[in-house]
Amino acid sequence: MTGYVNVLIAGGGPAGSLSAIYIGKEHDVTVVEEHQSAGFPVQCAGLISESCYTKLREFVSDRCYLNDIKGAFFFSPDGNYLEMIGDSKAVVIERKVLDSELLKRAAKYAEVRLKTTFKHAEGNIALLKSPEGAFTVEYNILIGADGASSSVARTFGFRKPEFFSALQFECGFEAIDSEMVELYFGRRYSDSFFGYAVPVDEETARIGVVSREDSLHYLNNILEKHPSVSRRVKKRKLLELNAGVIPIGIVNFVKGNVALIGDSAGMVKPYTGGGLYYHLVAAEILGMAFPDLNAYREAYMKKMGLEYRIGEKIHHLYSTLSDEDYNMLVKVGREEQIGEIVKNLHMDSPSSMLKILPKILKILSKNPKLFARVGKTLL
Ligand SMILES: Cc1cc2nc3c(=O)[nH]c(=O)nc-3n(C[C@H](O)[C@H](O)[C@H](O)COP(=O)(O)OP(=O)(O)OC[C@H]3O[C@@H](n4cnc5c(N)ncnc54)[C@H](O)[C@@H]3O)c2cc1C
């Protein structure tokens, strides 16, 4: 069987569905999704900013809403913590519902073929595989929204982002406050990132870790050895276990008539691994620029380039700071009431830190060693 499609999108996750929604209003689009439904397997803590949720609500119902988040506790390795409550809030969502509703919405603007896998492409002909067998389609433009292990990126020789592993447990948890996320820093809890607990409700949380290697070792340390978490986690009430990868480092995501979007392009926040907001921004820009893919790349990098650059510096801090530095940071942060200074920070925009950076550096300058380390990495 052969055929012709104008725009072929590989992948019906959030990046693919959002692209189909934004492009499909004016162009003829086909989405191929290898699974029989979207949002499977789930690989997400479901934490997004309130502004991102508001925008996504244009396309999905409130069935994906689970919990409100007003801020975060930053834990140093010694178990001490700093409270940060910002002016902007966040929301916890259910990805299974979000992904499935987004794909349904995409089906209003595009033809969606489930259980159909993109295998390869050459000379504008894509080889696809469905339960009925392999077939080819000719396309004009190909969008690779097929996640971190993208076949489109591999086929066209795009550079790969750096992969970090993520492991997450959904289980019973006695949160200090069920509207506060908890972040766990220190060498014992990750070699290059941090551990987290995202409360789903008053009794349950998604507890996870992102690391370069051996995330199981670090997750075990959080669950069993962390001075605060180990006392509050109820492992017997295990509801779900998820493993996945976080692709860090945006790559050049356009080559001729092929573009990447989402995890395939490394479009995640380098400082948290969160992807949904960046995919939403990218899909909206892709829709506006379409069919000019170079204009898509330029407009996206113009809007987000600074966020990536600052985000990468913050990410670099995680591997630079020692346990002693983290303990000192939280101690100084509490003494100097840093929580008040960082109120205006927005979780999607690390550049919002630029305005308060001088104040933070001034506080840190009271501790020359810490100042040298943080200042050198950030500046
Ligand atoms: C443990 C964990 C926690 C996370 N927590 C958060 C969070 O709290 N907030 C946040 O914003 N982000 C979070 N993320 C990141 C977020 O989940 C990803 O950025 C997001 O899912 C990527 O969306 P995507 O559409 O690019 O790729 P995916 O969600 O991976 O979707 C890709 C789709 O393409 C399909 N596909 C793959 N290959 C093919 C093919 N060859 N042919 C056809 N279809 C194919 C797949 O079946 C899938 O449906 C987390 C990630 C992990 C691993």
Burial of 379 (0-12, 13-18, 19+ CB in 10 A): exposed
39: Cβ below 6 Å to ligand 1?
A: no
Nearest CA to ligand 1 atom 49: 13
Residue 24, C-beta contacts closer than 8 angstroms, at least 6 positions apart: 106, 108, 109, 110
- The pTM of the full predicted model, rounded to 2 decimals, is 0.96
The three-state secondary structure class of 77 is coil
Rounded distance from Cα 275 to ligand 1 centre (Å): 8
Q: Is the CB of 200 under 6 A from ligand 1?
A: no
Backbone angles phi, psi at 20, to 5 degrees: -60, -40
Least Cα distance to 13 among 293, 285, 267 occurs for 267
- Any bridge partners for residue 70, and if so which? none
Gyration radius of the chain over CA positions: 21
d(CA 226, CA 268): 27
CB 201 within 8 A of CB 178: yes
Residue nearest to atom 31 of ligand 1 (CA): 13
What's the gap in Å between 30 CA and the centre of ligand 1? 19
pLDDT, position 314: 93
Beta carbon of 103 within 6 Å of any ligand 1 atom: no
CA-closest candidate to residue 280, choices 261, 298, 297, 266: 261
**Residue minimizing CA distance to atom 50 of ligand 1:** 44
Pocket test for ligand 1, best of 32, 34, 92, 200 (most atoms within 8 A of CB): 34
Decide whether any atom of ligand 1 lies within 6 Å of the 145 Cβ. Answer: yes
Q: What values do phi and psi take at 12, rounded to 5?
A: -110, 35
Q: Is the CB–ligand 1 distance for residue 67 below 6 Å? A: no
Q: For residues 95 and 97, what is the distance between their CA atoms, to the nearest angstrom?
A: 5
pLDDT at 58: 97
Residue showing tokens 């898509």: 296
Beta carbon of 168 within 6 Å of any ligand 1 atom? yes
Nearest protein CA to atom 20 of ligand 1, as residue: 275
Tell which residue, 40, 61, 264, 242, has the closest CA to residue 149: 264
The pLDDT of residue 2: 60
Instruction: Return the amino acid letter for 18.
Output: L
* 151 CB-near residues (< 8 Å, 6+ apart): 10, 117, 118, 119, 120, 144
The pLDDT score that the predictor gives to residue 144 is 98
* Ligand 1 pocket member 246 (CB < 6 A): yes
- Which domains, ranges and CATH numbers included, belong to the chain? 2-43+96-161+249-310 (3.50.50.60), 315-378 (no CATH)
Which helix (DSSP H) or strand (DSSP E) does residue 51 occupy? helix 50-56
CB atoms within 10 A of CB 317: 18
Tokens of 200: 């789903």
Cβ burial of 33 (10 Å; 0-12, 13-18, 19+) is buried
Q: Across the 379 residues of the chain, what is the mean pLDDT of every consecutive 10-residue run? A: 82 98 96 90 92 98 97 95 92 97 97 97 97 96 97 98 96 96 97 97 96 95 94 82 94 98 98 97 98 98 97 93 94 88 89 88 85 81
Establish whether residue 12 lines the binding site of ligand 1, counting it when its CB lies within 6 angstroms of any ligand atom.
yes
